[in-house]
Structure 1
Amino acid sequence: MPNRQAGISFCDGPKEREGREGRPAVNLRTLKYFVAIADAGSLTAAAEAIAIAQPALSRQMHALEEEMGVPLLQRTARGVRLTQAGVTLYEAAQRMLDEAQRVKRQLAGPSEAGESRVVLGVSPTLSRVLVPGLFERCHRTMDQMRLTVREAFTPELLDMLEKGMVDMAIITSMGASADRPLALHPLVGEPFALATPRSMKMDPIISLAALSRIPLLMTTLHRTVVERQLRPMGVHLNIHSEIDSVDAIRELVHDGDWCTLMPVSVFKEARSDAGITLTEVSGVQLNRQLMMATRIEAVPSTAVAALREIVLAELARLNRLRVFNFGKKPVKR
């Protein structure tokens, strides 16, 4: 395909319109088709999923590639796969489609029943402990609030918050920046723990020297914040692999062969109590600060203000249960 700069305009409608230089404009429907193909892995499966004839779908993709000036899909015997340019467009298309939906909801305003919608962003390390109780509180006390939860690491959550894709985010200080036009409210501090299978018979406390000899699985973000705190002491971690999935690392530790450094709340669950040891690292305070991030607005919406109070109440409950420290949960009576 010719290597030229695409002139792109976006519209949302069934008919293709002419963009700059007489070329068809890229519309939101075409982006939806492209995302559907990427998710399905084949034109045939995508055509069935979105109820469109496969030849028409294929023509749409050829036109999209022509407009972008680069191949987006690589045809294989088993279907299609994204090129590197296709991956870039796929990620951008998801953001644009999410933003289009958000704007559409915003323009529509509250429903006739007075229902308000609020979107909360949460770090993956907090979702399991925070979201269930938060959801139940919203359901019980705010029957006119429709809560949507998006999960992402802190840097992405802050980008989403600035772009209006979420209304509030529960983040960590690891990726926060004072340069952003956001309001940051400190919530609770939380230590990191060495999480190991019970079969390793790890002591309750470990020295930095001993820690440096243990092969670890860590997310990129957690590795960055921990190494930043260890750097002045000249201590280096033994990182076996970086895996940017909290759930995947948790499962690998549960399986009994791997160790990790994670915030203590990640392993505060019923299954962890039986098979995981949480060990405190001596000689340094490895921790993170949980924070509430919102856009700076003169008057926050009623829904956001209500969600703020619910988040604070749920975090206070979790703190009483010692979810964010090394102590065991108190027995409920």
Structure 2
Amino acid sequence: MTASSLRQIRYFVAVANTGSFTAAAEALHVSQPAVGLQVKFLEDRLGLPLFDRHSRGVDITPAGRAYLKHAEVMLRELEEAELAMASFRGNQPISLRLGITPTIGRTILAHMMHRAAQPDIAMRVDCEEGVSDKLIHMVSVGDLDCAFCYDPAPEQMLAITPLYTEDLCLVGPSSVIGTDKSAIEFSALRGLPLVLSPRPNYLREMIEARARETAVTIAPVVELELIGLKREFLIHYDYCTIAPYGLFLSDIQNGQISCRRVVNPTVSRTMCLALNRKMPAVAVSRLFEMVKPLVSEHIALGDFHWRQQDAENTAKLIA
């Protein structure tokens, strides 16, 4: 198979998976005419139309659907062949552009970076910290290879793997929430001096949705986005916030602030790894070899309040 034939097949698969030449061109980082030309070359070579073109995009033909099954298998086997070659040449360093949420940065990132430097993983990791929506967009357009993110919506260009579910906690000074580490009822949040992120914010929207369900009025006294500034309000000004345990991990562990899991109802979300589907198979393999044992270890330890991902939520994420 020539390089041009392989390019034609890759472009065809991208159009089939995205539903348009424009979206495929964006995903492949090439021009739309280049995608259209390569697909036309493939159709001419096969002697069959693979797509029906119309003003709204494209529809794959029965012949195209049959060819897609074989094309995806072939591309997957090529990736697996490249992965198999790694055992013969030894692990060559791989560069990875990784998106992380603030919670990941404060819990397992240092362990991950240490693991990445080991000879059996051999990954050079460049990190970009941000909120989930920003990171998901960066992965989908190819600015990042992959990212940790909360509850991502399914997208054609993303492969999503749920990792764990975490319940959010009320975090604040013991003078306000007490020293008792037992769970606290959601209704007890009424009237507390809260500092929350301004809208639009996914975590804020989750909290307010639970408040509407339970007819509990949640009125933040202060709206702040910066985590460092929130921390100052918690430690020095007797405010509280609703956050994952890991976001203020060191302050909770050294006793500067207290933490109580919110229940009835819980406010939960699932951490996932979102991968760009163009990420090389060898990089995917090393990434999961690095991440999955680490996540499983902390789920077992219970030190970050992580648990196995909810089956119902997992089904929604990977649908």
Q: TM above 0.5, one fold?
A: yes
Give the helix-richer structure, 1 or 2: 2
Q: Does 1:278 align with 2:259?
A: yes
Structure 2 counterpart of 1:137: 115
Q: Which amino acid aligns with 1:188?
A: Y
| Range 120-129 or range 139-148, more displaced | 139-148
Equivalent in 163, 187, 192 of residue 187 of structure 1: 163
Q: Does 1:200 align with 2:176?
A: yes
For residues 144 and 265 of structure 2, what CA distance do their matches in structure 1 show?
A: 35
Contact 1:191/1:324 (8 A) holds in 2: no
For residues 296 and 119 of structure 2, what CA distance do their matches in structure 1 show?
A: 17
Give unmatched runs, 5+ long, in structure 2. 1-90, 308-319
| Range 316-325 or range 131-140, more displaced | 316-325
- Return the offset for 1:230: 3.1
Contact 1:263/1:287 (8 A) holds in 2: no
Q: Which amino acid aligns with 1:193?
A: C
Contact 1:227/1:237 (8 A) holds in 2: yes
For residues 288 and 141 of structure 1, what CA distance do their matches in structure 2 show?
A: 34
Structure 1 counterpart of 2:196: 218
Matched position secondary structure for 1:274: coil
For residues 180 and 230 of structure 1, what CA distance do their matches in structure 2 show?
A: 33
- Return the offset for 1:200: 2.7
Higher relative contact order (CA 8 A, sep 6+): 2
For residues 267 and 321 of structure 1, what CA distance do their matches in structure 2 show?
A: 18
Give unmatched runs, 5+ long, in structure 1. 1-112, 328-333
Q: Which amino acid aligns with 2:196?
A: M
Matched position secondary structure for 2:264: coil
Contact 1:161/1:169 (8 A) holds in 2: yes
Q: TM-score w.r.t. structure 1 length?
A: 0.58
Equivalent in 140, 152, 172 of residue 150 of structure 2: 172
Identity across the alignment (%): 25
Query: Deviation string for 1:293-329 (max 9, x for gaps)?
Result: 11224x73312320122011221222233233189xx
Structure 2 counterpart of 1:117: 95
Structure 1 counterpart of 2:311: none
Query: Deviation string for 1:254-299 (max 9, x for gaps)?
Result: 33521100012223226644122112223201111111111224x7
Contact 1:264/1:326 (8 A) holds in 2: no
Change (3 A) 1:228 1:317: same
For residues 141 and 243 of structure 1, what CA distance do their matches in structure 2 show?
A: 42
Change (3 A) 1:137 1:230: same
Query: Deviation string for 1:30-69 (max 9, x for gaps)?
Result: xxxxxxxxxxxxxxxxxxxxxxxxxxxxxxxxxxxxxxxx
Matched position secondary structure for 2:95: strand
Contact 2:106/2:249 (8 A) holds in 1: no
Contact 2:195/2:221 (8 A) holds in 1: yes
Matched position secondary structure for 1:185: strand
Q: Does 1:251 align with 2:229?
A: no
Q: TM-score w.r.t. structure 2 length?
A: 0.60
Matched position secondary structure for 2:117: helix
For residues 121 and 161 of structure 2, what CA distance do their matches in structure 1 show?
A: 26
Structure 2 counterpart of 1:320: 300
Matched position secondary structure for 1:249: helix
Matched position secondary structure for 1:251: helix
For residues 295 and 321 of structure 1, what CA distance do their matches in structure 2 show?
A: 31
Q: How many residues in Structure 1 have an aligned counterpart in Structure 2?
A: 212
Equivalent in 103, 106, 113 of residue 128 of structure 1: 106
Q: Which amino acid aligns with 2:283?
A: A
Change (3 A) 1:197 1:272: farther
- Return the offset for 1:213: 0.9
Structure 1 counterpart of 2:244: 263
